[in-house]
Structure formats: C-alpha cells, structure tokens
Amino acid sequence: MRGTNPKLALSVTPVQNKTFYIRTYGCQMNESDSERIAGTLIDGGYSMVASADEADLVVLNTCSIREGAENKVYSDIGRLRLLQREAGATRTVAVAGCVAQQEGPALMARDRSVGLVFGSRAISRLPELIGRVEAGERVTAIDIHTRPDAPDSQVRGDPHRAWVTVMEGCDNHCAFCVVPATRGPEVSRHPDGVVAEVRELAERGYVEVTLLGQNVTSYGKNHGTDFADLLRRLHAIDGIRRIRYTTSHPKDFSDRLMDTLADCPKVARHLHLPLQSGSDRVLARMGRGYTYAAYRAKIERVRSLLPGLAITTDLIVGFPGETEADFSATLDAVREIGYFNLYGFKYSRRPGTLALTLDGHLDDDTRDQRLATLLAMQKATTLRHYQALVGSLVNVLVEGVSKRNTARLSGRLENGALAHFEGDPGWVGSFRQVRVTQASASALIGVAV
C-alpha cells in the first residue's frame, strides 16, 4: 500500500538508480513483511528487480521455525558471497525476519558479507539503516519491543487478495517455539487502523483479506477490544467478500468468537486451530495450556454453530519424551476430529527454546516414521473430504492461471481447497460457481457454470 504513510514518505531520502531483490522464506507473516519492505524501499527511491545478481541490495527475509529453513538461509548467504566475489560487485546483503532476530550480531560475525541485520519491527526505519550501511557501517536493528502502529508502505503482490497484519508477537511460551524470542511480546494494532486499511483495500477492489498474527485470537488486549469485535467491524465493510485469519490458539478460541463467526458469513468457513498433540501429557510438556478434551469441546461447539466448517490443524510429532502411547493419542485425535487437512511437522530443535532442555529427545528415524504415519492417515481423510465435494457446486475465488496447466484457472474455495477449471483469464479476482467433477487429495477439478 504505497503512499499510506506520508510521515514515512517524507522521511525518506530518494536514492537514484538503486535496485533491490527480496527472497522470502516461511510463513504468510513473512510474505506480508516482504511487501512492507518492498514498499519502504520503493518509497526510498529503490526499484525492484527479478533476481539477486541484478540487485544492489539483496534482502533475505528469513524463517527459523525449523532447522531446514534456517540452513537454507545460510547456504543462500554463501551463494551470494560467491556471486559477489566472481562479479566483483558491491552489493549489500541484508538479513531480515526470524533468523535475523534470533542470531543478530552472531550472524554478522559469522559472515562478513552481511551488512545489515534487521527485524520486522525495524522495517519502517530501513531508509535510515541502509543509509548507515552505505556510509560503511555494519548495522544490527533487532529490537523486539517497539512496533509502529500505522501500516508502513506496502507493495502488494496480489491485486485482489491482501494480507493484513493485525498483531505481532506472542505472550505464550510454547516449549518448541522461537516466536516469542524472534517476534517479541504480543502487540496488536489499533482496530481503527486495521478498519481503515481494509476499507481502503475494498475501495481499491480487493475482495479478500487474510488477517495475520501469531495468535489473532488474542488480538486487541492492549486496546481494550478483541478479535470478535474486529471481525464484526471488518465484516461490515462493503466490497470485502471473504475474510480469512490465521493463526488461532485453542485456549483463546472463545465462545464469543465462535458466536461472532456464526453471525458473520463473510468470514470463511475454515478454522485453522493448531492442536500440536493429542496427548495431554505432551500438551502439558509443550506448555500449550489446554487438554485434548477441552480442545475437542470447542470443536464440538463451533461445529454445532457452523455445520460444514472445514477444520485444519498443526501437529508436531516426536516432541521430546513422546511415547508410542502419546503418538497413538495424536492419531486417535486426528481420527476423531476428522480434520479437513493438517500440517504435520517433526519436532525440530530450536535454539533458546525450553524443549531443548527436556529429556527424551527422539532419534530421526522414529520422528520420520511417526510423521509418515500421520501424513498417510490424513491424506486418506482429506481425499474423502474432497471426494465428498464431487458433484456439488462450489464458490471459488479465481486466483490466477494454473501453474501446471496454463489452459486452466486456479482458485480457492472458502474451506481453503484448491480448484482447477477451464475459464477466461479475465475472471481472475472474481468469484465463480464451479461444479466439482474430480478430486485428488491435493486439489479439485471442476467446470465453471
């Protein structure tokens, strides 16, 4: 959203003929932050290019949720260093996101080619930080205790669907999670600012917004409001036809919020509610703050209010100390709830987390086998959910031309399922009725009617 923050625009000294490239790893919060980074740089006189080797400034917007993601960042930094040496180019490498936040000065010490390390709460200060780097300083800006409340400039990657960050950080301390250390304590944006942003998006033709935060269900505490009130206000905005949100915490998923979901049909009938484990013993060791029975009671209540609601979840297998019985409890829970889909992860050792200090760390093979078992079980369930849609008419927001088959369009149903069908590329950004004709465990095929 360029030009929405005149204060920021005024503070930027334009830089002539400078180019930047951003590589984004990880979650939607990072995608959204990259849009803000791009907006801030463009306001500062930079222009965006399509590859790292054309760029004066390369920003790696990183993720540290799992070890694999973090290692990718280090190998990318190494590749950039080589590129730099071969071309003799003077390029600034900046590392943003969770690895930046987590490693900070250590990242600088580890690799001399990195000139700037900054966290999500320093995005609006980028012009000043880059100015210091250009003056020869190596700069670290990873304070997690501040955040500008107004949205910064943002270059949106899609003209119809927008991410809107409503809060950042987390006050929980799940034993496996780096977020409280990397994103800092929970801070919500003022609801008036969020409503104004979504209203402006609607005026510009956006039809779908996804509200982002580490735990949107605890939104608003610092403003004396809550997520239910925010949803009601956003629901009233003309032009916005679908509202998504992610992610939620079971302990904050309140009756009041469920009642609001039932009253607001523009809020997608899709709930992503991370369970993490079906075993109470493991949930307690994780510090999640609920039991499986309490979780299941919430699912029963929300399903009674919203029949047909698609429920998805996150699960971690192989958490330290997880026994075969604990893992079986997770499989039982998955079977009982019948998730529409799930994201399964092997427990991953993360620096600075409580889980590292727990006993009972499991070997790789056990964790791999458990993950494979879980995913195979869910694949069959997801396939059943998708097959149940064959023959029905579904409402699809057309997102673009299919990547695999350019004769087809792709879009998503309210429940998040991907659908492919033939149609006019001019339909992108509109809602179409599609008759589902085939289903696999990853997508639906249909015919637009």
Parallel/antiparallel/unpaired status of strands 418-422 and 408-412: antiparallel
- Does 355 sit near ligand SF4 (CB under 6 A)? no
Which lies closer to ligand SF4 via its Cβ, residue 272 or residue 370? 272
- Does 177 sit near ligand SF4 (CB under 6 A)? yes
Q: Can you tell me which of 174, 202, 234, 258 binds ligand SF4, judged by CB under 6 A? A: 174
Local structure of 116: helix, strand or coil = strand
DSSP 62-105: E--SSHHHHHHHHHHHHHHHHHHHHHT---EEEEEHHHHHHHTH
Which lies closer to ligand SF4 via its Cβ, residue 58 or residue 342? 342
Peptide bond between residue 247 and the one before it cis (omega within 30 degrees of 0): yes
Which lies closer to ligand SF4 via its Cβ, residue 180 or residue 411? 180
Main-chain dihedrals φ then ψ at residue 81, nearest 5 degrees: -60, -45
Which lies closer to ligand SF4 via its Cβ, residue 120 or residue 140? 120
- What are the angstrom distances between the C-alpha of 442 and each of 385, 390, 417, 436? 11, 14, 8, 14
Which window, 173-181, 263-271, 305-313, 394-402, contacts ligand SF4 (CB under 6 A)?
A: 173-181
Local structure of 45: helix, strand or coil = coil
Which window, 39-47, 170-178, 387-395, 412-420, contacts ligand SF4 (CB under 6 A)?
A: 170-178
- Residues between 206 and 245 that touch ligand SF4 (CB under 6 A): 214-215
- Does 170 sit near ligand SF4 (CB under 6 A)? yes
Residue 23: its H or E element: strand 18-24
| Assigned token pair, 304 | 């009674």
Q: Which amino acid is at 57?
A: L
Which lies closer to ligand SF4 via its Cβ, residue 115 or residue 169? 169
Q: Can you tell me which of 242, 249, 346, 367 binds ligand SF4, judged by CB under 6 A? A: 249
Instruction: Compute the least distance from the CB of residue 296 to ligand SF4, in Å.
Output: 19
Torsion of CA 340, 318, 290, 188, to 10 degrees: -80
Q: Can you tell me which of 4, 19, 28, 172 binds ligand SF4, judged by CB under 6 A? A: 172
Instruction: Compute the least distance from the CB of residue 212 to ligand SF4, in Å.
Output: 12
Which chain residues interact with ligand SF4 by CB under 6 A? 170, 172-174, 177, 179-180, 214-215, 249
